[in-house]
Structures are given as C-alpha cells and as structure tokens.
Structure 1
Amino acid sequence: MNFTKFPRRGYLQGQTPVEPMKNLSKALGGEVNLFVKRDDLLPGASGGNKTRKLDFCIADAMEKGADTIITCGAIQSNHCRLTASWAAKEGLECHLVLEERVKGSYKEDGSGNNFLFELLGVKSKRVVEGGSDMMAEMEKTAAELKAAGKKPYIVPGGASNPIGALGYAACAQELMEQLNTTGLSIDYVVVPSGSAGTHAGMVVGMAGTNANIPVIGINVSRTKEAQEEIVFGLAQKTAELLDVKGGVAREDVVCYGDYVGPGYSLPTDAMVEAVKLFAGEEAILLDPVYTGKVAAGLVDHVRKGTFPKGSNVLFLHTGGSPALYAYLDTFR
C-alpha cells in the first residue's frame, strides 16, 4: 500500500508497542495468549487512536487552506479531545458540536474530556439533542464561521471517512512490520467498532498486506447487522482510495453487538469488570465508553472458548482513559 500520495502531518513518533498481557491471560484461564497494541500511547493530549486518522485529515484541511476545524462527537468524545489537541498544535481554531446521546448527561462543569476541551482552547461548544443530523449541525457552524471570514474544514465524527481510515490501514501495515520483525504470530485482532474508521481501516490494511488475520469488531453503539454494513461500506471506499487490488470481501467484516448494554456510553457490569481486570492485572487503563466494552467482549469470548486453545489474540487499545474521571460513581 502506498500512502505517500496522501498529505500527512507526521503526528506519529514511531510504532506503538505490542505487549504481551501474561497476567490477564493467566487470570482468564491461560488457554489463550493475549497481547495488546498500545495506541493509547499515541501522541496528542492523553493519546488515542484518532491521532492516526487526524494525521491525514488535518493535513488535508491545511492543504486546502483551512484555518478552522469543526468536528463533532458525544459529550465525552475522545475524538473531539484529540481534534482540539492537534488543532492547538497547528494554530487552528477548533469548534465542537456535541451530541447529548443520553438526555441530561451534559454538564457545563463536567470532568473527563469535557474539562480537557476547555484546557485545549476550544473556541466554541454547541450541544445538540441525541439523534441530530450531525453533519447538518456542523455545516450550520461552518456557515456562521464563513460569514465571519473564516475558512472552516469539517472533520466527520471519529474522523471516520476514507481519508481518516487511511490511518488504520497504515496501522495494519505497521502491525505486520512489527510481527514480521519479531516473529510473533497473531491469530486474531480485536478492535473497537464505533464510528467505523478504525475497524474499516484495519480490514483494508489486512487485505492490502495479505495478512490473512481476522479482524473482530466489538460494537459500542449499534447492532451487529447495522454496524457491519457501515464498516463494510467505509472499507470499500477506503480500499478504492488506496487502490487495494481485489478490495475487501464482505465476510472480512465481523462485528459483535452483544456488549453495548442499554446503550452507547451507558455502563454495564461486564465493562466495569473488564476495566478493573486490565488495571489490576496489567496496569492498563481503559475507558468506560469504548475500550471497556470492547475488553468486556474480549474477556467473554476468551471465557466462552471462541478462540481455539493456544491462540494468540491481539487487542487494539484505542485509548480514551480521560473519560474514566467522568464515571467515578460507576466504579466506586
């Protein structure tokens, strides 16, 4: 895969580590060997996967002469935090449209990522009802900024468009370079599946490198059927953008929607257990919205014997730990 034809800002500083999780593997019975790729350690304020996507998206914005970035997300959006982070580094204004997916959940003086938006110098935050047309809401903000003489660029939620998904096609290539260098064989990769860019990019990257490693998505908001269609659609567009020969097959997109619980960002007992397991066994912090629920799915599949005995399973840790501090009551 050739990424040189796309502008990038160079936000990555080398490869993120691949680490064994020996204590967690033992705690879960020792029949499956667990590993983690630490994208929570990516650069940007408090790290996380969106840095890979924004490396491409903000480069595209700046190449087009933008001086202002508009994006959207939920109340505790990690994507909004990292967009604000890189906008600050680049000297760009950042404006956020926040979707209150759980009615009454927005607090002006809230902790977690909501507090970090302030520290990172976000110019405006506008909160809209759950279920709003977020692109239309961002376009409304863009129109106001254009009228004020600004040159805004809209980054979609999660930076999950073909340009952003390039970041995770490149991540798959990076992972294969690490595995080939160390000789570590991975049988399955487990990823979060939300706005779809990370999952779609990894599927495209695995196809583009002929890795033949199944990518399993654990949903954080939608049903299996709905999420698989969204991921597959984005993967097709990303494969076309990258000129991946043969594209991606529908059967390469696999999601599980059993761990969402009562809804997006709403805690589950399994999520709480998974967050505590990762912290207590491996000193790895997860977040309650994305990686905690994905880890709950991973733990459940290990316990159920979904992975054959002796399998090497890699968990893609996409970050998000600042959101923990907005969920203290859930863990105490």
Structure 2
Amino acid sequence: MRIRGLRQCFVGNSVLPRLPLIWHRTPVHELPSLAKKLGRKRLWIKRDDLITFGFGGNKIRGLEFLVGDALSREADTLITGAGPLSNHVRATAAVAAKCGMRAAIIYWGKETPQISGNFQLVRMLGAETWFTGSLDRSSVDVHMKSMAEQLTRNGAKPYVIPRGGASPLGVVGHVLAVQELLKQFARRTSMPEVIVLPVGSGGTMAGWLLGTSYYKAPWRIEGITVSRPAYEVQAQVLQLICDTERLLDIRSDVTKHSVVIHDGHIGPGYGCPSAEGSAAICLAAVEEGVFLDPVYTGKALAGLVELCATERLMDAKAVLFLHTGGQPGLFVPGQYP
C-alpha cells in the first residue's frame, strides 16, 4: 500500500490527516454571454470539474480527508457505493488505485451489459463491483456494512465511505473550498452575492454553508436538489453541518432558514436526464463552451435559469455557479441532450 504524502491539516480547532490530491485552485471565470441571457450583471463559474485528479469533480475534495483518515487507520480496502453513474464512486476508485488499496464498490439495481461513463472508468481502475439487485438506494448501505464485516472476518482492514462521501470528514473538503474562493476574490473589485450549486447527498452544500459562516463570506448559498425532495435533503444538510461542527470543534450561525434548497428540477428521477437539464447543458455549451453533466450541473443550471426569472434572485446581480463535475455522464447513451 502506497501512503506517501499523507499530511496533517489544521481545520477549525482540529487536526486531521489529509491526502493531498488537489494541487491548484480550481479556476473561476466569468460567463458573459450567459450572464446577458439571464439578466445578470456578473455571472461567474467555479470549475471544480477541472480538478486534475481522477477525471475531476468536487468529490475529490472530500476524499482528501476521508482517505486520509482511512490511511491513518491503516485500512487496506475502501468500500463505497451508489448508482453506476456515480462521480463519487469513480473518484473513490481512482484514489484507491493511486494508494494501492482495494476498492469494493456496491451499486444499487441490477447489472446491465452496457459499460460506459463512470462505470467504465471504475472498471478501468480495477475496482471490484457488486449490484444489490434492488432499486432502493438504501440497499447499498446494507450491503456495504455486510461487505465490511465479511472482509474483516477474512483479515482485511476495510474503511466504509458513505454514499456520496456525505459525512463530516467529507464535508471538510467543501468547507475549505469556501476559503479557496475567498482568496480568489480577494483582489477583485466585486464578489458574488449568491452561489448556486447542485445538491445530491448534501455534503457539498453542508460544506459551503458551514464554510461561508465560519470564514464570514459575504454571499448566500442556494441549492438545486437533483436527488430527493428539498425537505429531505435540508434535514440531511443540517445534520451534516451539526456533525461537522463537532468534528472541527467550531460553531456556526447556520439555521434551518439558511438552508435554501429549490425543488422542481429532479425530472424523471435521480440519475435520469430531464428536458430542462438537457436544454441547460446545450445552453452552456453553445454560449460559453462549458460542458455540464446530465445528473447534477445540467439540472442545477436549469434551476438557476428559472430562479433568474423570479423575484428570488431579482436583487442579485452577481452570481456564481459551482461546476461540480460529472462530464463522463455525457457519454452514457440516453444521458446526453
């Protein structure tokens, strides 16, 4: 097992093991054509899709701390799961391969003969995969626990990473993304008033809300749910923030009213393309040469387009959109516009 590079990182009032996987700040640039179409004075995008490790995406941020913790505990196997299109699973498989660890992946549903997108990349990285046979996403959790128990009995040292990396350690990486963005805007004449991002398992939004409070950033955060009803993910985000505050020994001013999540853009279901999301993908590609993905950012941009036409963002002339990655999903038949 290769563990060179493991470092200690001070976050809040805690010291956490961190495996560095991101070597540069992700770019922030303006989208002038799209801003004009949406009636915004300024529209920026932060390109976490351009993280260079493991095909990019902001899941790498959380994995720096999750895998750092796993390595500090001398784990030799990473267990995680989700659906076959999961960016988190692909990123986890890439980190496991880099560290010389075994990757045990649990997918919900039944295996299909079609191997493409993130599923293809996971197989390419040498991960072992199993399917639960159930479309219930929580079936993954049951099978991960069973897998960990079985591997432990066989003498292995497994480390279970929750779906989407949605855990306090996973949230920490997104807290630090706020600090990174503040540094990027430190010498600029204006800052975003609102940051809009996609919300799936809740870890990204929890981190951005907690980081915004902790670092006293001047913007507010608004999420577009792409996975489950807003009230469900709001509760999950609040719990993640509470648990992460305990981990870091800090307090924030985030309340239930701070967790603003907009419904109406899930489409046929999580992981299924929507007409509005597909249109938004085309819009960003044509206007700015930026490619979004059909599972998260396409639907989130569709939500932003709708919000810009309502009173909710009427007063916000400077907006930043967080690109969380996921472009391998464009190369899955039926997942592109």
Q: Which bracket does the TM-score occupy, shorter chain normalised? A: over 0.9
Aligned positions of 1:139-154 closer than 5 A: 139-154=145-160
Match of 1:113 in 2: 118
Match of 2:76 in 1: 67
- What SS does the corresponding residue of 1:129 show, helix, strand or coil? coil
Contact 2:13–2:249 (Cα < 8 Å) also in 1: no
- The Cα offsets for residues 151-174 of structure 1, whole Å up to 9 and x where unpaired, read as 110011111100100000011111
Aligned positions of 1:1-332 closer than 5 A: 2=12, 5-28=15-38, 30-100=39-109, 106-131=111-136, 132-308=138-314, 311-328=317-334, 330-331=336-337
> Judging changes above 3 Å, is the alpha-carbon distance between structure 1 residues 307 and 167 closer, same or farther for their aligned structure 2 residues?
same
- Pairs aligned (count): 326
Q: Percent identity?
A: 36
Letter in 1 for 2:250: V
- What SS does the corresponding residue of 1:7 show, helix, strand or coil? strand
Contact 2:272–2:335 (Cα < 8 Å) also in 1: no
> Judging changes above 3 Å, is the alpha-carbon distance between structure 1 residues 184 and 31 closer, same or farther for their aligned structure 2 residues?
closer
> Judging changes above 3 Å, is the alpha-carbon distance between structure 1 residues 166 and 326 closer, same or farther for their aligned structure 2 residues?
same
Deviation at 1:3, TM superposition (A): 7.3
Deviation at 1:146, TM superposition (A): 1.9
Deviation at 1:47, TM superposition (A): 0.5
Moved more, 122-131 or 60-69: 122-131
- The Cα offsets for residues 75-131 of structure 1, whole Å up to 9 and x where unpaired, read as 21010000001111111110100123xxx6x42332111111111110233344121
- What SS does the corresponding residue of 1:5 show, helix, strand or coil? strand
- The Cα offsets for residues 47-81 of structure 1, whole Å up to 9 and x where unpaired, read as 10110000000000000010010001112101000
Output the TM-score relative to the length of structure 2: 0.92
CA–CA separation in structure 1 for the residues paired with 2:316 and 2:253: 31
Q: Which runs of 5+ in 2 are unaligned?
A: 1-10
- The Cα offsets for residues 198-222 of structure 1, whole Å up to 9 and x where unpaired, read as 0001000001011141100100121
> Judging changes above 3 Å, is the alpha-carbon distance between structure 1 residues 241 and 329 closer, same or farther for their aligned structure 2 residues?
closer
CA–CA separation in structure 2 for the residues paired with 1:329 and 1:15: 29
CA–CA separation in structure 1 for the residues paired with 2:114 and 2:333: 14
Contact 2:198–2:300 (Cα < 8 Å) also in 1: yes
Deviation at 1:32, TM superposition (A): 4.2
Letter in 1 for 2:299: K
Q: Which runs of 5+ in 1 are unaligned?
A: none
Contact 2:104–2:129 (Cα < 8 Å) also in 1: yes
Deviation at 1:247, TM superposition (A): 4.7
CA–CA separation in structure 2 for the residues paired with 1:5 and 1:181: 29
- What SS does the corresponding residue of 1:6 show, helix, strand or coil? strand
Output the TM-score relative to the length of structure 1: 0.93
Deviation at 1:250, TM superposition (A): 1.9
Deviation at 1:245, TM superposition (A): 3.1
Contact 1:32–1:307 (Cα < 8 Å) also in 2: no
Deviation at 1:280, TM superposition (A): 1.1
Deviation at 1:310, TM superposition (A): 6.1
Contact 2:45–2:322 (Cα < 8 Å) also in 1: yes
Let me know the Cα RMSD of the aligned residues. 1.8
> Judging changes above 3 Å, is the alpha-carbon distance between structure 1 residues 203 and 24 closer, same or farther for their aligned structure 2 residues?
same
